[in-house]
């Protein structure tokens, strides 16, 4: 089960995720993400501190969206992925597209 909470801090959109991110619940992230893109939002933070698992479909979705976002001048920062998720991020091309922070304040400061 996945819980998603989205908040805006000015031009920055923060996604707080909790639970497992898998192919069956990707729409819970993808839909609000695409809605924010349609509102010309380009600065995103994903708090992964409470994410317990991500499958390959989730990693693929993140990669695809990040590449498109970077082409449009946007960026994504991550907060506290657990060691397993961090290892996946580091072993894929995702590590070239994001920065990882220990807390929301540091991630927000990086985008200002």
* DSSP codes of every residue in 94-112: GGGTEEEESSHHHHHHHH-
Per residue in 26-60, pLDDT tens? 999 999 999 999 999 999 999 999 999 999 889 88
Q: What is the pLDDT of residues 52-64, one digit of tens each?
A: 999 988 988 888 8
Q: Which of 23, 34, 36, 93 is nearest to 65 (CA)?
A: 34
Instruction: Please check the confidence at residue 77 and state whether its pLDDT lies above 80.
Output: yes
Alpha helices per DSSP H over 1-112: 27-38, 56-71, 83-91, 104-111
CATH code of the domain containing 61: 3.30.750.24
Exposed/middle/buried for 87, CB within 10 Å: 0-12, 13-18, 19+?
exposed
Number of domains in the chain: 1
Range of the domain at 101: 2-111
pTM of the predicted structure, to 2 decimals:
0.93
């Amino acid at each position: 089960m996945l819980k998603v909470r989205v908040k805006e801090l000015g031009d920055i959109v923060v996604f707080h995720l909790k639970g497992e991110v898998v192919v069956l619940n990707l729409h819970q992230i993808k839909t609000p993400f695409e809605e924010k893109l349609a509102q010309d939002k380009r600065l995103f933070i994903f708090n992964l501190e409470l994410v317990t698992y991500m499958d390959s479909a989730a990693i693929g979705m993140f990669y695809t969206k990040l590449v498109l976002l970077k082409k449009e001048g946007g960026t994504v920062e991550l907060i506290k992925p657990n060691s397993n998720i961090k290892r996946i991020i580091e072993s894929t091309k995702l590590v070239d597209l994001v920065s990882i922070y220990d807390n929301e304040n540091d991630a927000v400061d990086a985008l200002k």
